[in-house]
Structure 1
Amino acid sequence: MDQLRVKKGRSLWWVVHSWIGLKLSILLTFILATGTFAVFAHEIDWLATPAMRVSPRSEPVASWGALAQAAARAAPDARLQTLYAPIDPWFAVEAWVSRGKGAPERVYVDPWTAKVTGRHGWANVHRFLRQAHRHLMLPTKIGIPIVCSLALLLAVSLVSGIITYKKWWRGFFRAPRGGDGRRMTGDLHRLIGLWSLWFVALIAVTGLWYLVETLGGNARVPKVPDVEASPMPTGVALDRLVAIARRADPALDVREVRFTPDNGVIFLGQSSAWLVRDRANAVVVDPATSRVVAQLDGRTLSAHQRISEMADPLHFGTFGGLWTKVIWFLFGALLTAMAVTGTMIYAMRLARSSRSDVGSLKIAWQGMGAWGYIGIALILLTLILTPGAIGGAS
C-alpha cells in the first residue's frame, strides 16, 4: 500500500513537472534566454558600440573631476546626471546627461585621457534585455508579477523533478545513453538538471524575492537629506568632494557618481560589505558647503535591506566580475536548454505512443493549448512595445 502511494505521488508530481515544462515552455524559454544574455549585456553593447571601447594603459586614470568636465563639455546644453566607472579596463567611462525631457543620452569618456570617445542614445542591448527579462516591456506593476510568477513555477519544477527522478543522487556522472533520440534527450535533460540544481534554486529564490518586492515587501530605502540647489561641480571642485568622500569612508571604491539637484553629489561603490549593490555604500556631500550630509554602510543594513541588496548580484552573477558572469551565463544557457529539451521529451513521448505521422513540433504545440498562444502573444507584445519602452523611459 505504501509503495502504491509513493508511486501515485510520483505520478502526480510528474504531471505537474510536465505541465509546467510544456504549457509554459515558450514564455519560460524567452525569459531564461533574455536573462542569460543579460549577464553579458554590457559586453554585447561593448562589441556593438565603438565609443565604449578603449585600450588599457599602465598609467594612472584621470580624476573624476576631469571625467565629469569632459562629459559636461560634450553636452553643454544638458545636465550631467551620473558618471559610471568602467566595468572592466577595456570599457570607457559612461556618463548620463539629460535635457529635461525624454530619456538621457550616453557620453563615453576615455578613463585615462579624459577625452570623449563618442555619444549614444538611451536605447541599447542592455536596456532591451533588462526590460524584456524583467517585465516584458509592460508597466512594471503588470510585467514583473507575470515574470516573477515563473520563479514560483520554477521552484515547483525543481521539487517535482527531484521527486520523480528515483535515486537522483546517483545520476551526476551518468552519461546520456545513445541509440534513441527520446532516451538520449531525457538523459541529457536529467543530467543538466542535476548539475544545475543549485542554480535553479538560486534563480527561483531571487525571482520570488523580486515578486515579494513588487507586491509591497520591498526594503526601506534610506532617505538622503535635502540640500540647497547649487551648480554641480566638475574638474577640481569635484575632485575636492571626492577627497572628502574618501576621508569619510577610506575603504570606498567609488563606482558611480550621482549629481542630484536636491541631495548634492552622491558617491556610491563597493566598501567593506560583501555581496551588495553599489548603492548600499555611499557618501553624500553638499557641494555648496563641502560637508558630508549622509553616509551609507552596507555592513549596517537590516536583514531585510541586506537581502534586497544581495538579490541582483546573486541573480546575475556580477559579484565576482568576469569569472562569475561566465559561470552564470553557462548555467543560464543550460537552464534554457532544459526548457527546450523538456518540450522535446514530451513531444517525442507522445509521438511514439500515438504512432502518428504528425511531427513532434506539431504535437508539442497541440499539447501547449492556449498557453502556447499566450506565450507567443506576450513575446510579440514585448517586441512591439520595445521602441517606445527603451527609447523614452529611464
Structure 2
Amino acid sequence: MAKLNNRFWFRLHGWFSLPVWIIFCFVCLTGTISVISHELTWLTNPEARASNPQQVKEKPMSELVEIVQQAHPTASISTVMSFEPYLVNAVIFTDKDVPFAIAYVNQYTGDIQEINQGITFINFMRSLHGWLLFPWHSNYSVGYYIVCAMAIVMLGALITGLVVYKNFWRAFTQPKLRITQGKKTLLADLHRLAGVWSMWFLLLMSITGLWYLAQAMMWHNHIELEEHAPLIEVSQVPMSSNEAPTRPYTLSNALQVAEQQFPGFKSTYVMLPEHQRDTYKVYGQGDHIFYDQYAYGVTVNPWNGAIESERTPAKMTTLQTLSHIADPLHYGTIGGLWTKAIWFIFGIFLTGMSITGFLMWGGRTVKAAKADLDVTSSVNSHFVKQESH
C-alpha cells in the first residue's frame, strides 16, 4: 500500500510539472532575465547609462521636463519615470508625427542621450514574462491568466515533490550529487538538490503568482484596487475665452509638496495634467523596503496647490498592501543588487529544475515505450509461431 501511495504522489508530481513544462520553463526563464533587465540594459546600451563624472546631485524631474520641452517645443510631455541610480530617467512625450517617444535624460548632467520611439528591452521582457505578449482585451489578457496559472503548477509540484522525496531535509546537511553513476542518477540528484534548496523561492513565487491571478480576476470583474485620482471641481478652473489659462502651480511645486508630505520621499513616477481638471500625480518610494516604488504619492491641484488625494502604506487596505508588496518580492528588488543577484541565481535553479524534470520524464517515457514495444513484438512473434505450426 505504501508503494502504491508513493507511486501515486510521484505520478501526481509529474502531472503538475511536465504537461506544461515548455510554458513553465519559458516563464521561469523570462522571469529570471526580467530580474536583471535593468542591469542588462545598462550593460548593452551606453545611452541608457546615467554617468555622473562630477558626482553632482540629481536634477529634479521638473528640470528634466523643461530640458525636453526646450529641445522639442511642440511636444506634449505626459510622464517622467526614474529607475536605478545608474540608469537615465525616461521622459515620455508625443510630438508632430511622433505618436510615442521616450527621451533618455541623464538626471545628473541634463543631457538627452537618446530618443526611443519603440519598446524598451525592460518593457519587452516584463511583458513577455507577464502575459506572453498576448493582446489585452479591455481589462484582461489570456496570456496573463496562463502565466498566473503557473503558480498553481509550481505549488503543486512543490508539495508533491516534498511528499515523494522522503527525508528531504538531509539535502541541507548531507547533499548528494553522484556524478559517476550515469546520466539518470546525476539528473535525479540535481533535480532534488535544486528543489530542496529552492523551496523558499518556489513558495514565494507561488504565493506572489497566486496573488497576480487573484488580481487578474479582480481586474476582469472591474474591481478597482486603487481609487482613481479625483477630478478638480469646475468652479476651481479659471475661465478664459481666448486661450487656455496658465496653471499657477508647476510640477516643481507638486514635487515639493510630495517631499514635504513624506520625509525621505524619492519620486519615481510623475504624470502631468492631461486636461484642465486633471492633477499632478507624483508617486515614489519611502522608507519601507518591502513596498514598491509607487507606494507613496499625492495628487496635487495645479490651480491652488492643494493635495487632492494621498497614497501611503499606513492608509492602504489589505488588497492595496498586497498589490504594492508583490512586485518587490517577486522580482527581488527589496535589497537592490544583492537581492536581485539571489533571485537571479534561484531563477536559474528553477529553470534548470523544469529542464531536468522533463529529461527524467522523457527518459522514463522512452524506456517504457520501448518495453511495451518489446512486449508487443514478443506476443506477435508467439502468435506467428503458433499459426505456423
> Structure 1 residue aligned with 2:51, among 32, 35, 55?
55
Q: Deviations over 1:320-367 (max 9, x none)?
A: 2111111111111110000000011122334455668x9xxxxxxxxx
Provide the C-alpha distance between the structure 2 equivalents of 1:335 and 1:355, rounded to a whole number of angstroms: 30
Partner of 1:225: 230
2-side partners of 1:271 and 1:312: how far apart?
16
Match of residue 258, structure 2, among 241, 245, 258? 245
> In the alignment, residue 331 of structure 1 is paired with which amino acid?
F
| 1:194-205 paired onto structure 2 within 5 Å | 194-205=196-207
1:124-203 equivalent positions in 2, closer than 5 A: 124-140=120-136, 141=140, 142-172=142-172, 173-179=174-180, 180-203=182-205
1:255 corresponds in structure 2 to 268
Name the CA distance, whole Å, in 2 between partners of 1:53 and 1:284. Answer: 30
Q: Distance in 2 between matches of 1:255 and 1:61?
A: 12
Residues 287 and 146 of structure 1, relative CA distance in 2, 3 Å threshold: same
1: CA distance between counterparts of 2:245 and 2:10? 64
CA displacement 1:155-201 (0-9 Å, x = unmatched) = 10000000000111112241311221100110010000001001011
Contact 1:103 1:122 in 2 (8 A): no
CA distance in structure 2 between the partners assigned to 1:123 and 1:320 by the alignment = 27
**In the alignment, is the contact (CA less than 8 A) between 2:247 and 2:303 conserved in 1?**
no
What amino acid is aligned across from residue 224 of structure 1 in structure 2?
A
Residues 322/219 of structure 1: CA separation in 2 closer, same or farther (3 Å cut): farther
Q: Quote the RMSD (CA, aligned, Å).
A: 2.6
Match of 1:70 in 2: 67
Aligned residue number for residue 333 of structure 2: 318
Deviation at 1:319, TM superposition (A): 2.0
Identical amino acids, percent of aligned pairs: 28
* Residue-pair matches, total: 351
SS in 2 for 1:77: coil
Task: Report the CA distance shift for 1:75/1:12 in structure 2 as closer, same or farther (over 3 A).
Answer: farther
The superposition leaves residues 234-254 of structure 1 with CA deviations (integer Å, 9 ceiling, x where unpaired) of 9x9432332222222233222
Look up the SS of the partner of 2:176 in the other structure: coil
Cα deviations by residue, 1:213-245 (Å, 9 ceiling, x for unpaired): 1112766212321135978989x9432332222
Query: Aligned ranges for residues 111-122 of structure 1 at < 5 Å?
Result: 111-122=107-118
1:290 paired with 2:305, answer: yes
Q: 2: CA distance between counterparts of 1:124 and 1:86?
A: 13
The answer to whether the aligner puts 1:87 opposite 2:84 as a matched pair is yes
Equivalences for residues 239-388 of structure 1 within 5 A: 239-261=252-274, 262-352=277-367
Aligned: 1:18 with 2:30? no
Inter-partner Cα distance in structure 1 for 2:203 and 2:246: 45
| Cα separation, partners in 2 of 1:232 and 1:254, compared to 1, 3 Å | farther
| TM-aligned CA deviation for residue 100 of structure 1 | 9.3
Asked whether the equivalents of residues 151 and 207 of structure 1 are also in contact (C-alpha less than 8 Å), the reply is yes
User: Matches of 1:36 and 1:291 in 2, distance apart?
Assistant: 43
- Greater shift in the superposed pair: 197-206 or 130-139: 130-139
- Return the alpha-carbon distance in structure 1 between the equivalents of residues 209 and 95 of structure 2: 35
As a proportion of its length, which structure holds more helix?
1
Higher relative contact order (CA 8 A, sep 6+): 1
Q: Secondary structure at the match of 1:202?
A: helix
Whole-angstrom distance in 1 between the partners of 2:167 and 2:92: 54
Question: Taking structure 2 as the reference length, what is the TM-score of the superposition?
Answer: 0.83
Q: Which deviates more from structure 2 when the two are superposed, residues 244-253 or residues 319-328?
A: 244-253
CA contact (8 A) 1:158 1:197 kept: yes
Q: Which amino acid aligns with 1:27?
A: I
Q: Secondary structure at the match of 1:279?
A: coil
* Alignment-mate amino acid for residue 207 of structure 1: G
Does the 8 A contact of 1:241 with 1:285 survive in 2?
yes
Q: Which moved more, 1:241-250 or 1:141-150?
A: 241-250
Change (3 A) 1:20 1:100: farther
- Which has the greater radius of gyration? 2
Quote the offset at 1:63 in angstroms: 2.6
Determine if contact 1:108/1:117 at 8 Å carries over to the other structure.
yes
Aligned-residue offset at 1:12: 1.2
Q: State the AA in 2 paired with 1:221.
A: E
Can you give the 5+ residue segments of structure 2 that lack an aligned partner in the other structure? Answer: 239-243, 374-389
Q: Distance in 2 between matches of 1:231 and 1:181?
A: 75
Contact 2:254–2:282 (8 Å) recurs in 1: no
Range 292-301 or range 149-158, more displaced: 292-301
Write out per-residue CA displacement over residues 91-117 of structure 1, whole angstroms, 9 at most, x where no aligned residue: 111111134998631101111121211
Who is 1:106 aligned against? 102
Q: 1:61: how far off?
A: 2.1
Structure 1 unaligned regions, length at least 5:
359-394
Q: Measured at CA, do residues 231 and 350 of structure 1 come closer, stay the same or move farther in structure 2, by a change above 3 Å?
A: farther
CA distance in structure 2 between the aligned counterparts of 1:327 and 1:289, rounded to whole angstroms? 47
Q: Residue 119 of structure 2 corresponds to which residue in structure 1?
A: 123
2:115 aligned counterpart, secondary structure: strand
- Give, in whole Å, the separation in 2 of the partners of 1:11 and 1:219: 45
The one-letter code matched in structure 1 to 2:87 is F
